[in-house]
Structure 1
C-alpha cells in the first residue's frame, strides 16, 4: 500500500476525528504538514467516504485543540521560558519562535487571524497570544476563523481531486513516489539545518544572544494587552 492509499485509508477509517488528531499533532509536533493532511482529507470527502462539511469542521476542531496547547504553554510558562525550551530542543528553531513573537507584537490581535495562514508561524503564533493573555474567547474566534480559511483552501483542493479520483487513480504510485521524495528531502533539509545551527551556536560565546533573550523576557510581563496596529 502506497502512502497516498495509506493516508486516505486512515482518514477514511477514522473519519473526522482522525483528521482532527492529525492536525492536532501537526500543530504541536509537526509530524506531517497540514498541506498534505488537508488535501487527503478532502479526497475522502470527494470520493464519498466522508462528508465535505463534516471533514471541514473536524479540521477546525483539530487546529483549535492544537492551538490551545500552545496558548497554554505561553500563558503558564511565559516567553522567556518557552524560548529557552525552543533553544535547548535539538530540532526546534528558536528563530521561528522569535518571529512569531515579533509578528504578534507588530500586528496585535489581528495577527492571530492572519498568522494562521502564514507558514512558519501559523502554529507558534498561539504562544505569544498566551503570553499576552489574550481573552480565550477572542483567541478561539480568531484562530477558528483563520484556520477555517486555510483549511478550506486545501480541503477543497483535495475534494476536487476526489471527485475526479478515477482520472488520477492509475497514477497514484507515481504520486506516492513523488511524495516520498519530497518528504524525505524536507526532513533531511530540516534536520541538517538545525544540526548546523546547533554547531554554529556552540561556537558563539555565551551572551551573544542577549538582545533576543531580553526581548522575550520583556514579553513575559506586558503592561497592557496588545492592540491591533492601526494604519
Structure 2
C-alpha cells in the first residue's frame, strides 16, 4: 500500500516540526512538504499531489478557510483536515463549509491525528471528540435548525437504517462509533450516509444534519 502523502500548513514553525516528526515516525504516512500560509498551500497543490493536507485555520496572508475552499474546489482529490487551537463556531463551521473533511484541535494525541488522516484518506469524516459537541451546538445556534413546516414533507423517504445513522450523527458519533453501535461495517455506514446526503440534495454531513433537523427527523443533542 502506498504511503499517505501529507502536506502540513501552519504558520507556527514548532507546530510544523511537531507534525513532521509524527508523520515521519509513523509507518504508512509520508511528510510531503510544508507551507506557512494559505497562498503557499494553494501554490504547492498546483505542482504536487498531496493526499491529505493538515490545514491550520488562522494564518496570515490567506487563512485556512479560504485556502481550503480553493483547494477542495480546484483539486477535489485532495482531502483537507483542519487542525487548529480553536473549536469555536468561528472556525469550526466555516472550515467544514469550505470543504474540510475533518476538524481536529492541536492538542490531539498523535494517534488521533494519524487516525484522522487515515479517515480522510479513506473518504470518511474525522471530527475530534473534543469538538463534536461544539459542532452540534454551532449547527443549532448558527443555522437555527428547528423543525419547520414551511420546508414541506420529506422529499424522499429514508430507510430505517438511514434514520438510525442520522440519529447517531446528530449525537456526534463518528463512523467507527456508528458502525459499532449498529453492528455494521464502516463501509456500510459511509454508504448509508452517502444515500442520505443524495436524498437530501446536500454535499456534506453538516448540511445533512441541518436538513434533517428542519424536517424534524432528528434533535441535536448536547450530551
TM-score range, shorter chain: under 0.3
Bigger radius of gyration: 1
- RCO higher in 1 or 2 (8 Å CA, sep ≥ 6)? 1
Q: More helix per residue: 1 or 2?
A: 1
Higher strand share: 2
TM-score normalized by the length of structure 1: 0.27
Task: Compute the TM-score of the two structures, normalised by the length of structure 2.
Answer: 0.27
